């Protein structure tokens, strides 16, 4: 990892020497990674490289035995998973996490729920304020749906949408949280070639409009190479390489790791 480049601007996310162990399995050993403001950083590596474990560590779903993860210069140690969204970290999962019987708008509103600071007691004793917050949440969710081109589907049951639209809705829900960084775990899984292309354009547009930092875990190399500013490669739970898409494409160690997997 090149520390001189980190000094130019403080990364939104910075992990140093993170190790995670599951019983006897060392899933991550001393991995480091940073994501700059407004950057799309790809995280790739053959199956079992430790990519999802890293996202789980960065969102406090799993504990790391050693190392540190900083968000905007603040350590994440001790932060509960449920508080990560309030800290500005939103993520999507490999398997869609949507509420099928709720409308698209309701699903997206859930993304902003943490900003309402609402509670049953507040709703009872300060109903006007609770209603104003609800209205503002609804307006913000509609604005995000406009942004991702789904405003006309707001009233539809989420479960009735085609799969690519459900994925798009998941992104909208993450954006409703107004995150500083968006963590995408294999978002192109299950999409056709044309749908992947559209999805890439969506993510690129979001990054440009919002100057949002994105960490993208993805096996679809076409998407990774076209979308990412920089790519970090894990292999067998360790850092293997880091560079621009062009550098990674021609990196012998990366090629060997992927060929080894194919073999
Ligand atoms: N909960 C767990 N318990 C035990 N071992 C685990 C657990 N989660 C992950 N592992 C192991 O940790 C290693 C890293 O797995 P991880 O899922 O992070 O890799 P990955 O790079 O995301 O793989 P893929 O691309 O297949 O999703 C693997 O050896 C995996 O079997």
CATH code (residue 240): 3.40.50.300
ipTM tops 0.90: yes
Q: Are 255 and 247 in contact (CB under 8 A)?
A: no
Q: Is the CB of 22 under 6 A from ligand 1?
A: yes
Residue 50 and residue 29 share a domain: yes
**Ligand 1 centre distance from Cα of residue 232 (Å):** 17
pLDDT, average across residues 186-212: 93
Considering only CA atoms, which of 234, 237, 172, 209 is closest in space to residue 42?
A: 234
What distance in Å separates the CA atoms of residue 211 and residue 152, rounded to the nearest whole number?
A: 26
Q: Which residues, including other chains, have CB under 8 Å from residue 142's CB and lie 6 or more apart?
A: 105, 151, 154
pLDDT band at 104 (very low <50, low <70, confident <90, very high): very high
Range of lowest pLDDT (52-66, 76-90, 165-179, 216-230): 76-90
Domain boundary among 151, 178, 205: 178
Q: Is the CB of 27 under 6 A from ligand 1?
A: yes
Residue 189 and residue 261 share a domain: yes
Residue 202 and residue 152 share a domain: no
Task: State the pTM of this model.
Answer: 0.89
pLDDT band at 85 (very low <50, low <70, confident <90, very high): confident
Residue 186 and residue 82 share a domain: yes
Residue 185 and residue 70 share a domain: yes
Segments forming the whole domain that contains residue 240: 1-88+180-263
End-to-end CA gap in the chain: 29
Q: Is the CB of 2 under 6 A from ligand 1?
A: no
pLDDT band at 119 (very low <50, low <70, confident <90, very high): low
For residue 128, the model assigns a pLDDT of 65
Residue 216 and residue 185 share a domain: yes
**Ligand 1 centre distance from Cα of residue 47 (Å):** 8
Q: Is the CB of 60 under 6 A from ligand 1?
A: no
Cα angle, residue 35 at apex, residues 147 and 211 outer, rounded to 5°: 30
Residue 37 and residue 67 share a domain: yes
Domain count, the chain: 2
| Atom 1, ligand 1: residue with shortest CA distance | 22
**Ligand 1 centre distance from Cα of residue 244 (Å):** 25
């Amino acid at each position: 990892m090149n520390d001189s480049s980190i000094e130019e601007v403080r990364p939104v996310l910075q992990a140093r020497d993170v190790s995670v162990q599951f019983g006897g399995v060392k899933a991550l050993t001393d991995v480091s990674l940073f994501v700059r403001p407004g950057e799309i950083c790809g995280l790739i590596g053959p199956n079992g490289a430790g990519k999802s474990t890293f996202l789980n560590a960065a969102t406090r779903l799993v504990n790391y035995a050693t190392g540190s993860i900083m968000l905007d210069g603040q350590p994440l140690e001790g932060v509960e998973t449920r508080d990560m969204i309030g800290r500005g970290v939103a993520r999507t999962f490999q398997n869609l996490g949507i509420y099928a019987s709720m409308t698209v708008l309701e699903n997206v509103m859930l993304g902003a729920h943490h900003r309402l600071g609402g509670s049953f007691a507040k709703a009872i004793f300060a109903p006007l304020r609770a209603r104003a917050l609800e209205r503002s949440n609804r307006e913000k969710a509609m604005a995000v749906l406009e942004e991702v081109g789904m405003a006309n589907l707001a009233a539809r049951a989420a479960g009735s949408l085609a799969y690519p639209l459900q994925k798009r809705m998941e992104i909208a829900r993450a954006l409703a949280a107004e995150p500083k960084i968006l963590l995408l775990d294999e978002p192109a899984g299950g999409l056709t070639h044309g749908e992947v292309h559209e999805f890439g354009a969506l993510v690129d547009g979001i990054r440009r409009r919002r100057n949002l930092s994105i960490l993208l875990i993805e096996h679809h190399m076409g998407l990774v190479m076209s979308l990412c500013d920089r790519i970090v490669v894990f292999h067998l739970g360790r850092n293997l390489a880091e560079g621009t898409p062009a550098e990674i494409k021609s990196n012998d160690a990366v090629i060997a790791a992927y060929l080894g997997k194919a073999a």
